Amino acid sequence: MIQNWYIIFIAALVPMVMGFVWYNPKVLGTLWMSASGMTEEKSAKAQKPLVYGLSYLFSCMIALALLVVTIHQMHIFSIFDGQAGLGVDGSELMTRITNFLGEDINNFRTFSHGAFHGTVAGLFIVLPVLATNAMFEAKGFTYIAVNAGYWIISLALMGGIVCQWA
């Protein structure tokens, strides 16, 4: 089902690259710093290798989750979870699955389809989580809009990448 696992690692770069652009002071960085209460001094104290390393790891986890969200054919495998022959080329079970999917095995495997599902995940999962946390932290609308916008666009791009090329 997944032919190009390395695409996960490529898609995981999207939030990193987006972050460098989105949070740049010439784009939305100054606005975000003001809305979040971040200062240059606080930023300088961060352990950058740890922050970037963990951010990339988390982005890999998100890319893996987007496989299931964007590629509908993956769900058939959950029906047969634990049965002998699952994932074994040429097994009776895999032959049944392949015959069932037939020509539809690659339906909806487009960038636009993945981007749509990534956007929906951003709007209906990330936005409510960020907004809830922000409200309890007494952050304003600007903080929510900047961060949610970043994640909605990042998830749209990641979803498109994994759906089209994974």
Residue 141 has pLDDT above 80, yes or no: yes
The residue whose two tokens read 């993945």 is 114
Q: What is the DSSP string of 93-133?
A: HHHHHHHHHGGGGGTT-SHHHHHHHHHHHIIIIIHHHHHHH
Q: What pLDDT was estimated at residue 1?
A: 62
Q: Are residues 15 and 58 in the same domain?
A: yes
* 78-136 residue pLDDT tens: 889 999 999 899 999 999 998 888 888 888 999 999 999 999 999 999 999 999 999 99
Q: What pLDDT was estimated at residue 73?
A: 84
* 19-47 residue pLDDT tens: 999 999 999 999 999 999 999 999 999 99
At residue 39, the 3 state secondary structure works out as: coil
Is residue 17 within 8 A of residue 11, CB to CB? The reply is no
Q: Which of 58, 91, 107 is the last residue of a domain?
A: 107
Q: Could you tell me the pTM of the whole model?
A: 0.89
Q: Are residues 16 and 57 in the same domain?
A: yes
* 67-80 residue pLDDT tens: 999 998 888 888 89
Does 1 fall in a domain? no
Number of domains in the chain: 2
